[in-house]
Amino acid sequence: MSSNQFNGLMMPVFTAFGWAGEETAVNFALSQMELFIEGIYYSLPRATQDQFVAHGIDRASQSAYLSTTPDPEAGLIVVFNARPMSLETSLAISDKTTLAKAYTTAEAQVNTLYTILEELGADWKLRIQQMEIDEESGTTALYQDLYKDGIDALDEETLTTVISRASYLNGESKWVVPLYVSHFADSEKVAAMGTKIISVSVENIEKLVPLIELFTGKVRKKKAPKKKTPKPRPIQPPEPVKQMSGREEQFTYTSELKALHLRRGFINLTPEHWPFFAVNVRTETRPVTIHYGELKDEKSSVWRLVQNDQARIALSPTVHHWLEENFDIHDFIQVTAVKKSQDEIHITLAPIT
């Protein structure tokens, strides 16, 4: 059984078997890419999410993207392309107006731009193209590359010259000068990562944020730190499950929130709590109803971490937002879980005051 090879979809993560027909296979692969970009977007820190007003897949190029404007072609995008040998993550600007603003800012802050690029590391590449515009059709064709090499091969003097040249040419009606900053990951290694590729991609996007802020002038909003007296860490072993009225059971647990918990949207319980949620020995995840503040959510779940059977509450995007807005690192949150029936579990989340 062999698999058809489709442009942009050849990486094993997204490849579909050809026996189903090319259209069906491509649609399946695109659906997987849509899940991929949704997973990335909702795993981003809230401040980084605010940089992007649109995300999705582009069926024409068979790629996934995050965009700083409602129209991806009109602003700055982070695009993910599945190639035969690699997954490409690329910060791309191709709109002439957006490029003009980016190059003007870059010319005035070349030192800052060079420092940001250097901090990306040697496995990132910079490409600045000189594209000729056909005045009749409006189509573009590559004239030459002003720069196309690894960032480790770039010095500040060269960058200054290239940016100045790019800014001048982009200001001419005959030319447009797209800019790309890209990272390439081996496709076999990416496929072996499974869903971990989402967290790796989030890390790459976070590395690109200083560039996005420089080129767009849109700085991420940062929450002002709350002034408060540090709370002593409560010493609390897992509370045993208690029998309530009728057939209901419950437990209460206090969990400390770390930076990763707030960024990714989850709350850790313990291995002792997992049997409360497990339907049988093969159970890996369990849907739950979350009560938080005066609101209710039915899109969260509890996961079993395979390595140690730890229970983890995976919050929906809505509850994740609430957690970020109302808690800080090292705050404690009280978790009360009630088993209403064999098929229904309710969890109440509340701050420790």
Is residue 234 scored above 80 in pLDDT? Answer: no
Show the domains of the chain with their CATH numbers. Answer: 18-216 (3.30.930.20), 242-351 (2.40.330.30)
DSSP H helices, the chain, are: 22-43, 46-49, 96-108, 110-120, 156-170, 187-193, 196-216, 259-264, 274-277, 317-326
Residue 32, C-beta contacts closer than 8 angstroms, at least 6 positions apart: 13, 14
Nearest 5°: the CA angle 77, 121, 183 is 40
Closest C-alpha to 223, from 273, 262, 181: 262
pTM above 0.85, yes or no: no
Is residue 150 scored above 90 in pLDDT? Answer: yes
- Lowest model confidence (mean pLDDT) among 24-28, 109-113, 205-209, 307-311: 24-28
Contact 63, 8 (CB under 8 A): yes
Write down the pLDDT at residue 226.
53
Please state, rounded to an integer, the average pLDDT across all residues of the chain: 84
Write down the pLDDT at residue 235.
45
Helix (H) or strand (E) holding 131, with range, is: strand 124-133
DSSP per position, 56-113: EEETTTTEEEEESSSSGGGSEEEEEEE-SSEEEEEEEE--HHHHHHHHHHHHHTHHHH
Contact 131, 177 (CB under 8 A): yes
Is residue 222 scored above 80 in pLDDT? Answer: no
pLDDT tens for each residue of 251-302: 999 998 988 888 888 999 999 999 999 988 888 889 999 999 889 999 999 9
pLDDT tens for each residue of 316-351: 888 998 998 889 888 899 999 999 888 899 999 999
Write down the pLDDT at residue 16.
46
Using pLDDT thresholds of 50, 70 and 90, give the confidence band for residue 121: confident
Write down the pLDDT at residue 239.
56
pLDDT tens for each residue of 204-217: 999 999 999 999 88
Bigger pLDDT: 210 vs 248: 210
Backbone angles phi, psi at 156, to 5 degrees: -65, -35
Q: Which residues of 24-37 are buried (b: 16+ CB within 10 A; e: fewer)?
A: ebbebbbebbeebb
Mean pLDDT to the nearest integer, 15-30: 64
